Structure 1
Amino acid sequence: MPSSAVCADLLGMVFPQLEKVLVEQVVVESGVLRVTARTSDDSSLPCPSCGTVSGRVHSRYQRHLADAAVGGRPVMIELTVSRLFCDAPHCLRRTFAEQVDGLTVRYGRYTPLLLETLRAVGLALAGSAGARLLKVLNVVVSRVTLLSIVLALPEPAVVCPRILGVDEFALKRSRRYGVVLVDVEARRVIDVLEDYSSDALAGWLQAHPGAKVICRDRANSFGDGASRGAPDAQQCADRFHLWQNLGSAVERATGRLRSSWLPPERDPSSTSDVLPDKAESSLTQRNRERHAAVHALMDRGVGTMGIVRELRLDTTTVIKFMRAATVEELLTHGPSGRTGTLDAHADYLARRWDEGCTGAHILHAELAARGVNVSKRTVRRFVHRMREHGAPAPRSLAPKAREVSALILTHPDALPEADQSLLKELSARCTELAVLRTLVEEFAQMLVNRQGDEKLDGWLNSAKSSGIPELHSFANSLTRDLDAVRAGLTLPWSSGVVEGHVNRMLKRQMFGRAGHRLLRHRILLA
């Protein structure tokens, strides 16, 4: 048997928080490690109210404190402490309980060590998930208790930084949005607003003066709120959003110009791909009507969510129609009314058909040998279509408008030689596409090198006189927010750190179920 000194040393290493008390017994009961201890009998302690030192004992009582698990067993400390008299005549407190530093807190049933663990788990995982993890760690606590511990934490003081970043995030996607405010220099969140409006931002800035630069995206609510709340601050448009807005304009332009840079045999409006003597399908008619309605609302200045509410369509569907400059980008060109999986292999199938191979099972096997992952049913339907209408005329598939816009927006040095040749070929067929490429490259150089002061005005004039409506509209939008855009293309600050905080996944863990107070605690303190 080890000596009592060795046992005492071992106990001190396992429970350093018990060094200031006298341990009487350590036993295991029903899988729980129970430690019985007491404080010294001759303690003299100051009154927590008046500070008068007292050693006169009123009574003694036992406290039950849960501690962090040891060796896979929950730990319960049964600590006997004293209640002392306060003899100061002017003090309103007649008795007070003895507290042990590092072991007890007033009204606490957890040791500070366990309480810190509960706080860390609660901030990281919130209620139910945190309770499940703690159960694995042999700490039994309910989700409600865990959330109460998180909400009891004091909030940090809110001080407006010199460089302030502002961005929205989804409290409940497509329904409710909040605003996150970030100290860009320190790269930390300083506050979270429940209301996504210009009034909320303006009110916060007025209550917390001191911002010199405000980094934001190009939302009107942020621009208006920053102007009213901090009129002397320099607003800085985020470079990522500027490039994103330009990309949308380029995609609309390439969609409009597609018929002009395609050779005649690739023109999607040609009648060779449309069935004769057949009216448009109901799906095609519906797509035409929806595209017209979406773009009519866009011309009136209605935003994405406004179009969703007006037409009662899904957000993804609305964005798809908004991105398509013409309805032909959404329509299909095969006899079936849809773009088929086998359209890319139509030339091969037409050649095999002319050679006399008309069996669907044979064609399916040959396609599988070519690495085409397609079902036998799809091949049978394609063969049936060829039997009814004849084999499709051999044609090469042209790049889509979105593919061409991606090539234009990619750095030329990062493009393979084949893509560079394709862009040169398309630009030779369409002069507007060549002008579009040139202006995009100039804007990219200005953005990367932050040459807004030197080149922005000249670029805006070139875009407005280019004859490309999409670039003209983009230039007009920059002109309306010219000071912020010039600062974004000149100053080193951006909203990148703000976007990083928005995408930390914290907002998605609670799926709109958390109230603003709990979510704010987790964001600010995690």
Structure 2
Amino acid sequence: MSISKLLFNNTRIFKVISLVNELDKIRISLVSKSKQSTCPKCELPSSKSHSYYIRKIVDLPIFGKQTLIKLKARKFYCSTLECPLKIFTERFKSIFSSYQRRSDRLTKKLLNLVILTGGRPSEKICAEFSVTVSDTSLLRIIAKQELPTTAHVTHLGVDDWAIRKRERYGSILIDLNTNKPIGLLKDREENTFSNWLTQNKQIQLISRDRFINYQRASTQGAPQALQVADRWHLLKNLGETVRKILDREYVVIQKMREKNTMTVQPENKRRKTKTSNHQLQRFTQVKELLAQSKSHREISKLLHMSRVTVKKYELYDKLPAIHCQSSTGIEKHLEYIESRIIQQPTILLKTLHSELKNRGYRGAYNTLSDSLKRFQISIGKAARNKVILPSNLVFWRPSRTMILFVTKKERINKVQRQILDQFCELSPTLRITLELVREFRYMIFEQKCSDSFHTWIDKLNLSGIPEFQSFSKGLLKDTNAIRNAIDLPWSNGPVEGNVNKLKTLKRQMYGRCSIDLLEKRLVLSPD
């Protein structure tokens, strides 16, 4: 096989005149075998030679050495009288682009590398492979690329992402048919997204969360498209409503603990609390202002705090301490420990520790002993073989208890089930809440039919729970999108995945890149 075929994949366009092997470079001299060339203006061939000049082109490295190609590029007369271009240089498309000092295959490799790793990391990697290029040159390669057209996109996913958290946000657009990003918008305003939709009339379906700007922009910019609310966001919104109910019912939970309705152990002296003097002072100020008949909005402005916090403090008689109990890994083995003690009341702690290590428990022998004491599990006494819930478990916090309410029933263990059962026994509101949440989960994740949606809305309104009644009003404003979310398989899952990828790219560039560069790195990323 000739060197020319080896260098250019069996093409016979070039003839190798010479090959010089230097210490750190390989110089290759080439000349074209073609006797004529096509004019780039009139696209007619010409064989009348005018002159030639030497093009120096860097190619992919060979054997760890930089490859420098010297190409004898000829100039031709254009024989067409009407053509404005009288003299032109022969072109070598798909091999050596015009006005470029790198081969197309090297440029393609550099483009993929800088998209994946960024400017400065790519410069260092290229230096290791005998390719001399600066980070700014690499970034210019990205800047010259054009984004692919969006004319083929029919199913769109949209979500917001933080350009600068809590200050500035943008929008990410995903093709749901391919799960690939197609563009970024510089903000999440209604007009921006609506204008984009107006320019893309082929959109047939839009998957989104319940952000009001996206809802209005989709209705205005793409009235022909089906709107689908994301199921995960629906469950998240429902969980936020449940959290509000739990905050209000916190007094009931406190009463349950005081009356020892749940069997709990005395407070652990080693337990840490996070209630600070500053928090206590703020709590006292809120109570004093509430006593003066100040509104929530006025208190929020005076103390520079969220109205949600003000409402929560209004429900509490005293500021609850946040208890921190570090997990030892024994929690997921509690059911097994209980069953083993029932089977063998005289089991030794050493034997139990060995069995738990085989099940994946990583704690030491002393850690296991201390954990069993914390859970009031006594080894060797059948009378005390019941797992007793300590009062300082994280599930006592409303935020963690809310997770139990929205979690699938089959994924809740025995201890967590006991917590929910005793909550529901004490508070009728929480019992109704749990029933409605599980009915909603069944409707959107198992039944996948929206026929019972309005029936469920009626149950929310008849429940007498103000938080659910407010939640139902918000759902009714977006009824069609929610029913489509239940009936159709589309969701914002691919969008959320690409948002995570976008965050990784942003952090990789230390958050100092432009939106255009970030968009091209995201959209042009190789498969």
Could you state the TM-score of these two structures normalised by the residue count of structure 2?
0.75
Residue 112 of structure 2 corresponds to: 120
Q: Distance in 2 between the 1:111 and 1:22 partners?
A: 17
- CA gap 1:175/1:509 in 2 versus in 1, 3 angstroms: farther
Matched with 1:178 is 170
Residue type of the partner of 1:423? Answer: L
Q: 1:460 aligns with which of 457, 460, 465?
A: 457
SS of match in other structure, 1:251:
helix
CA contact (8 A) 1:450 1:491 kept: no
Identity %: 26
Distance of aligned partners of 1:130 and 1:476 in 2 relative to their CA distance in 1, 3 Å threshold = same
Contact 1:65 1:76 in 2 (8 A): yes
Query: Structure 2: how far apart are the matches of 1:310 and 1:450?
Result: 48
Task: Name stretches of at least 5 consecutive residues in structure 2 with no aligned partner.
Answer: 268-274, 329-363, 371-389
Q: Identify which of 484, 499, 503 aligns with 2:481.
A: 484
SS at match of 2:82: coil
Q: Give the one of 7, 18, 32 matched to 1:39.
A: 32
Say which SS state the counterpart of residue 105 (structure 1) adopts: coil
Aligned pairs for 1:230-241 (under 5 A) are 230-241=222-233
Q: After superposition, what is the alpha-carbon deviation per residue over 1:30-81, rounded to whole angstroms, capped at 9, x for unaligned?
A: 41111122234x7222222223332222222111110011111111111222
Q: Distance in 1 between matches of 2:228 and 2:307?
A: 27
CA contact (8 A) 2:443 2:450 kept: no
Q: Is the aligned partner of 1:475 residue 2:459?
A: no
Which amino acid in structure 2 is aligned with residue 27 of structure 1? V
Would the aligned equivalents of 2:3 and 2:16 in 1 still touch at CA under 8 Å? Answer: no
Q: What is the CA-CA distance between 1:230 and the residue it aligns to?
A: 2.0
Classify 1:32/1:230 alpha carbon distance in 2 versus 1 (closer, same or farther; 3 Å). Answer: same
Aligned residues: 453
Question: What one-letter code is carried by the residue in structure 2 that aligns with 1:232?
Answer: Q
CA distance in 1, matches of 2:474, 2:318: 27
Counterpart CA distance in 2 for 1:174 and 1:112 is: 43
Q: Counterpart of 1:263 in structure 2: which amino acid?
A: R
Correspondence for 1:49 = 41
Q: Is the 8 A contact 1:65 1:111 kept in 2?
A: yes
Residue 20 in structure 1 maps to residue 9 in structure 2: no
The answer to whether structure 1 residue 284 and structure 2 residue 279 are counterparts is: yes
Paired position in structure 2 for 1:520: 519
Q: Which of 256, 263, 266 is the aligned partner of 2:257?
A: 263
Q: Quote the offset at 1:407 in angstroms.
A: 1.7
Match of 1:371 among 359, 363, 367: 367
- Pairwise CA RMSD: 3.9
SS of corresponding position for 1:489: helix
Say if 2:392 is the partner of 1:397.
Answer: yes
How much does 1:134 deviate?
2.0
1:232-278 Cα offsets, whole Å, 9 max, x none, are: 333221111000011111122223213324232569xxxx99xxxxx
Q: Deviations over 1:75-128 (max 9, x none)?
A: 111122211222322222121112335432210101111011112122223322
Q: How does 1:30-429 map to 2 (within 5 A)?
A: 30-40=23-33, 43-159=35-151, 161-261=153-253, 262-265=256-259, 282-288=277-283, 321=309, 331-333=319-321, 339=323, 370-371=366-367, 396-397=391-392, 399-400=395-396, 401-429=398-426
Q: Tell me, in whole angstroms, the C-alpha distance in 2 between the residues paired with 1:286 and 1:452.
A: 50
Q: 1:285 to 1:507 in 2, by over 3 A?
A: same
Q: 1:112 to 1:298 in 2, by over 3 A?
A: farther
What is the CA distance between 1:141 and its match in structure 2? Answer: 1.2
Change (3 A) 1:156 1:319: farther
Q: Are the equivalent residues in 1 in contact too, given 2:184–2:519 (CA < 8 A)? A: yes
Q: What is the deviation of 1:182?
A: 2.1
- Does the CA-based 8 Å contact 2:296-2:307 persist in structure 1? no
CA positional deviation for 1:371? 2.6
Structure 1 stretches of 5 or more lacking a match? 1-7, 274-279, 301-306, 345-367, 375-394
Deviations 1:393-423 (A, max 9, x none): xx84364123322222221211222222232
The CA deviation at 1:289 is 6.5
Q: Return the offset for 1:444.
A: 0.4
**What are the Cα deviations for residues 321-345 of structure 1, in whole angstroms up to 9, with x where unaligned?**
5996778699455xxxx7476999x
Please state how far the C-alpha of 1:131 moved relative to its aligned partner: 2.0
In structure 2, give the amino acid aligned to 1:397: N
Aligned in 2, Cα 1:320/1:23: closer, same or farther, shift over 3 Å?
A: farther
Structure 2: which amino acid aligns with 1:510?
Answer: M
- Tell me how far 1:509 sits from its aligned partner: 3.1
Alpha-carbon distance in structure 1 between the residues aligned to 2:520 and 2:61: 27
Per the alignment, in what secondary structure is the counterpart of residue 487 of structure 2? coil
Structure 1 residue matching 2:201: 3-state secondary structure: coil
